Every structure is written in C-alpha cells, then in structure tokens.
Amino acid sequence: MRYQPVAAAADAVGRWGVIALGFSIPISVALDNVLLALIALAWLAAGELREKLSIIRGNPVALAALGLFGMLTLGLAYGSSNPGDGLHYLGKYLDLLFVPLFLTFFRDANIRKWALIAFSLAAIASVMVSYLAHMNLLADSSLLRREPTLPNGFKASITHGLIVAFAAYLFALVARAEQNKNRRLGYIALSLFAAHNVVFMGFGRTGYLLIALLFLYFFVVTLGRRGLVLVSAMGLAMFLTAYVTSTIFHQRLNDAAQEFSQWELGKPSKTSVGERLEYYVTSIGIIRAHPLIGTGTGSFPAEYARAVAGRNMMVTVNPHNEYLMIAVQIGLIGLASLIYLFYRQWRYAGELERPFYRDLGRGLVLTFAVGCLFNSLLLDHTEGLLFAWLSALVFAAPAKTRPPLAGYTP
C-alpha cells in the first residue's frame, strides 16, 4: 500500500515523458537522452511488470522489434569488428528495446493524442525555422545559425525532410478525420505548408520521394481510383512547378541524374550518388562472402575497409542503406528479421480499429521501408528513435475485436 503512491507518480512521469519525447525528437538529441533515461526508470518504478509483459507478449510489433534487437545482440558473439565497435553499433539500435516500454504508456488514448500534438508542434516549429532560414533571417543568429542555401529546421537535411514529410501526411490524416469544417481547413493548410517546405525548400532527396509516396497512398486509400488520378495530376503539377521555380529542387534532381550517369562500376567516385553506389556494390560483395549470419554486429567498418583496401575508394562506416547494414552484420537471417518487422507492422495496421491509426501505421512503414533503401535510418539517432516512438504509439491503439469461433462460449 505504501508503494502505490510512488508507482502512480512514476507512471505519471513515464506518461508525460513519452509525450515530451514527441516534441524533443525533432529538436534536441540531448533532451532525448534525458527523457529516455527518465522513461526507463519510470517504467521500472511504476511496477505491474507482469501486466506489462503480458501486453508486450500480445503485441506482434513489439515482439518483432525485440526479435531484431535479439539478433543484433547475438551478433556480438562472432565476427571481425574493431575493438569497441560491437557494443557501439548495438547501442545505436537500442531504440528497438524502447518499443515495448513506450507501448505500455501509449495504451491511454489521451496520451497518444497529446503525444501526436507534441510531435506536430515540433514539426511546425521545424518548418518555421526552415522558412526563416530561407528568407535569410537566421544567417547571423547566434542561437540557431542557418544559411538560405541550406534552409533546414533543427536537423540535417535528410532528417528534416523525413520529419516534415511525415508531418504533412499526419496533418492530412487528421484533416480527413476532422468533422469541424474550419478546423479541417486549418489541418489542410498545415499539410500543404509542410509539403511545400519539403518540395520547394528541402535539400534532402529522400524527402521528395517520401512526400510523393505518402500522398500517393493517402489519396488512393481515401478516394480509390479517383485518388490515383487526382494525386497523379497534382504530383505532376507540383513537380513541374518546383522544377521551374525552386533552385534547390532543380539543382538536386539535376545533380542526381548527372552523378548517376557519370558513375562507373569499379572506378572510384567523388560524387554523392557515385559514392553511395560504391557503398552498395561493395556491401553486397561482403554479404555474398558471408551470406547466412554475416560478419557480426559492429563489423561493418572493419569489413568495408578490408574490402576496399588498395582500390583507392572511399572508406565508410555506413553504407547509407539499412538493409545492407543489417545484412553485412547479421546476414540474410538478420535482413529477414528487419523485413519481417516492417511486414508485421503493415499487417497489424490493417487490424487496428480506427482508419486513422491504420493509415498512420502504414504511412510509418512506407516512410521507413523506403527511406531505409537510401539511408541507414534505424542506425541514426533521430530517425531510429522516431521509428520506435511512432511504432509504439500507433500499435498501442486498439485492434478490431475478432468474432468468436463457432461453438465457443466466452
């Protein structure tokens, strides 16, 4: 009885912690780490561990996330990593362990609501900073210096583009569910505001792809075939407008096309696209040599350096592709675990009660499954934590009630 007030207070701290994390993730790594420590301590101090473990065991997404982390942990037992790299790289994937922790706090619908509000406010702040930078109002700022040629928010270009693209999609989902006409128009305006920032001001090409993919899914699932026609027309109009009027968009696409055409297999490259293609080809070669269980967690830097030794090619510690990063470390079994995580999320999203959470979950899968083709998103702090946080939030939502089996009496 004496412990109950402490447990209740710890539970409240954990709930407010996961809400605050929604605001922190797009803005501050330091605050992220403080909140993660606070949430972990609160989760333990709140007690009811048997009930929490029961919730985790019943959630396929939490189990799939734990399965992938478990594979990475086993990968420490073998391989050729440099001293310290094994634990260093495993620590990068520690966010996967927080999926089940966050999940237990997100059972409350109000906590999910306020967490999404917190994330939305941070995303809006990111867009506002980007616009201020674009207008050259932050070039001399001592607090947050940003140049108009690279008008990011609080994060680097790839991360900024991903966060704002997903926020634009989130605002569209909220607008679809909103019954009040004035508020719906406000959410539509926020969605367009964020989408404009990604396409017309964003430097990250991943953001261009994600905004197109998310809104393709949104209009198709909302309007069916009419949605496909509508989004195709809108997409073409936005692409042509951005290509003609946005210097950044025009330059980034032209650079990508030119760098791709200049790349030659086996020859060192000094361009962004060429270097990434080098990383992909070399990583695939390492996987072919160690296909089943890979070369061990944290082994990528040592194995890649060994593979390009004497070839005058760029050495990297990151192939900018999560699938290749996982496959090099823990083989095709590990790659299957990552793909299975995305698969379970997609399938379980279809079982959620509310269409809002179904499409938010599937938007999350599209964002990370496609984004991981061009970036090691789960390896990176902000993207990896955002993935864990959103996974817990979305898949803590109630699932549809399945009809009882024939002849079964509850």
At 379 the pLDDT is 94
At 406 the pLDDT is 42
Per-residue pLDDT band at 270 (split at 50, 70, 90) = confident
Q: Can you say how many angstroms the Cα of residue 225 is from the centroid of all Cα atoms in its chain? A: 28
**Do the beta carbons of residue 20 and residue 35 sit within 8 Å?**
yes
Would you call 21 exposed, middle or buried from its count of C-beta atoms within 10 A (0-12, 13-18, 19+)? buried
Question: Can you tell me whether residue 339 is helix, strand or coil?
Answer: helix
Per-residue pLDDT band at 7 (split at 50, 70, 90) = confident
Note the pLDDT tens digit of each residue in 105-124.
999 999 999 999 999 999 99
At 360 the pLDDT is 97
At 404 the pLDDT is 45
Mean pLDDT for the chain overall: 89
Question: Can you tell me whether residue 352 is helix, strand or coil?
Answer: strand
pLDDT at 333 over 50: yes
Note the pLDDT tens digit of each residue in 356-383.
999 999 999 999 999 999 999 999 999 9
Please identify which residue in the block is written with the tokens 């361009």. 271
Share of the chain above pLDDT 70, in %: 96
Per-residue pLDDT band at 3 (split at 50, 70, 90) = low
pLDDT at 263 over 80: no
**Do the beta carbons of residue 62 and residue 107 sit within 8 Å?**
no
- Residue 354: phi and psi, rounded to 5, are -95, 135
Between residues 173 and 148, which one has the greater pLDDT?
173
pLDDT at 307 over 80: yes
Share of the chain above pLDDT 90, in %: 68
Would you tell me how many other CB atoms lie within 10 Å of the CB of residue 215? 23
pLDDT at 156 over 60: yes
Cβ within 8 Å of residue 100, ≥6 positions away: 52, 56, 59, 62, 65, 66, 392
Q: What is the dihedral of CA 389, 159, 195, 185, to 10 degrees?
A: 30
At 262 the pLDDT is 75
Q: List the beta bridge partners of residue 399.
A: 352
Segment 220-242 mean pLDDT: 77
Cβ within 8 Å of residue 59, ≥6 positions away: 100, 103, 395, 396
Note the pLDDT tens digit of each residue in 60-93.
999 999 999 999 999 999 987 888 899 999 999 9
pLDDT at 291 over 90: yes
Q: What is the pTM of this model?
A: 0.91
At 290 the pLDDT is 94
At 250 the pLDDT is 66
Q: In angstroms, rounded to a whole number, what is the distance separating the alpha carbons of residues 354 and 97? A: 26
At 369 the pLDDT is 97
At 2 the pLDDT is 58
Segment 246-267 mean pLDDT: 75
At 402 the pLDDT is 56
Structure tokens at 103: 């999940």
Segment 38-59 mean pLDDT: 92
| Domain map (residue ranges) of the chain | 1-47, 51-395
E strand map for 180-294: none
Cβ within 8 Å of residue 127, ≥6 positions away: 153, 164, 167, 193, 194, 197
Q: List the beta bridge partners of residue 352.
A: 399
Distances (CA, A) of 277 to 78, 206, 252, 260: 28, 15, 17, 9
